[in-house]
Amino acid sequence: MSFFMSKNMIRLNKIKWVNKMAKKRKKKNLKNLIGLFLLVLLALGGYCYYQKYKETQNLLFWENERKKEEDERIKKEQQEKEYQKCLTKTFTEEELTESLKTEANEITKYITKNNYQVSVLFEDLTTHYQYSYQPSKVYYGCSLIKIVDALYLINKAIAGEIDLDKETVTYLAKYKVGYSSGMAKRTIGEKVTLRDLITYAITVSDNTAHLMLIDYIGFSNLKAYGESLGAKVILTGGDNFGNQTAEDTTIYLKEAYKIITENEEYGPFLKSIMDNNVRNAYNTDTIKIYHKYGSYANYYHDIGLSLEQRPYAISILTLHENSGYKQIIQSIHEKIRTLQTNFYKNRETVCHNEIYGT
């Protein structure tokens, strides 16, 4: 009996021990599981933190890159503005290179070697760089005075003092003279608008139109107007056409350029009437000059504006009406255009080195 009881007790104790050990393992496994779970959570948290950190760093990196690009863009824009400003600054004698001096001297030698009886004044209208040959020599101006007629009246119209389409001049017999192809279409006694008279005077160099205009304006008023612009010899010489110098005609051209480029109402009108090929000694297949010519006896003069990217005024007054004026003017003009090109090449180099470095 006691033997069986002992056996049962052993079995019960064994079962208790097994259950106890099972509970211990279960508790240990639960601890391990919780630890693993916490470890996973910690690892996941670390991974998320790392990803967030990495994303933040990426954002900072690209923000810095964007800022660098923006700073570089602003720097380049500022440099380009400074470069363009440098290209267009007013010319000073100090920037003349020996090469440019030599090239300008070669043009002068070309003129004198060929015994050309001319006066020349070229002026770049952006930088005011000039080439000149006897620019103050006085010539009979012929029809060049007609550009002053136009400037005077257009400026009066801009000021609102007259209306070019309403103001008229009556065509009287005393005005009728030769070389007046525009007014040849009109009849004596007819009232002609100022706009039409200006158009005839510039496009076909109509003499009758000029006489009508100078009567309307007044000789002394026209002379005073030219002098107010800076002209020195306007309407000297004893008639209604008077004398001119290349210096004076360049003053007129600069005033014309101002109107063409600054006045929306009358600029296109002046540009259109100067855009003609009537005895235009400058125009070629590749060169376009808005001009006014004048001729009488041995005198042939042509003055005009280039309105290209690098605009300029050119005045060439000559005594070659009967001795190849067109070839003379075109050859001198071509050399001056090359001089202007080389002037800008030199300036581009100087400005690039100044702004961007060598």
Contact between residue 202 and residue 138 where contact means Cβ atoms under 8 Å apart = no
**Within-domain flag for 330:** yes
For residue 317, being part of any structural domain is answered with yes
CA pseudo-torsion sign 95, 100, 101, 105: negative
List the CATH number of the domain containing 200: 3.40.710.10
What global pTM score does this model have? 0.83
Q: Which amino acid is at 354?
A: E
The answer, yes or no, to whether residue 1 has pLDDT greater than 70, is no
Task: Determine, yes or no, domain membership for 3.
Answer: no
Q: Is residue 181 part of a domain?
A: yes
| Residue 138 β-bridge partners | none
Q: Is the pLDDT of residue 238 over 90?
A: yes
pLDDT of residue 91: 95
In this structure, is residue 125 part of a structural domain? yes
More confident residue, 103 or 57: 103
At 208, list the tokens.
Answer: 């009758």
| pLDDT for the residue 46 | 75
pLDDT grade for 59, boundaries at 50, 70 and 90: confident
Mean pLDDT of 277-298: 97
128-168 pLDDT, tens digit each? 999 999 999 999 999 999 999 999 999 999 999 999 999 99
Specify if 104 maps to a domain.
yes
pLDDT band at 96 (very low <50, low <70, confident <90, very high): very high
Instruction: Give the tens place of pLDDT for each residue, 296-335.
Output: 999 999 999 999 999 999 999 999 999 999 999 999 999 9
pLDDT digits (tens, 9 = 90+) for 187-223: 999 999 999 999 999 999 999 999 999 999 999 999 9
Whether 274 is in a domain gets the answer yes
pLDDT higher than 60, residue 4: no
Mean pLDDT over 331-355 rounds to: 96
Does the pLDDT value for residue 124 go beyond 60?
yes
Say how far apart CA 167 and CA 297 lie, in whole Å.
34
pLDDT of residue 61: 86
The percent of residues in the chain predicted with pLDDT above 90, rounded, is: 76
When the pLDDT of each residue in the chain is averaged and rounded to a whole number, the result is 93
Does any domain span residue 55? no
Give how many domains the chain has, as a whole number.
Answer: 1
Indicate whether 26 pLDDT > 90: no
User: Does pLDDT of 30 surpass 80?
Assistant: no
| pLDDT at 8 (0 to 100) | 67
Six-digit token pair at 38? 């916490």
The backbone torsions φ and ψ at residue 126, rounded to the nearest 5 degrees and listed phi first, read: -95, -50
Note down the domain range covering 116.
89-356
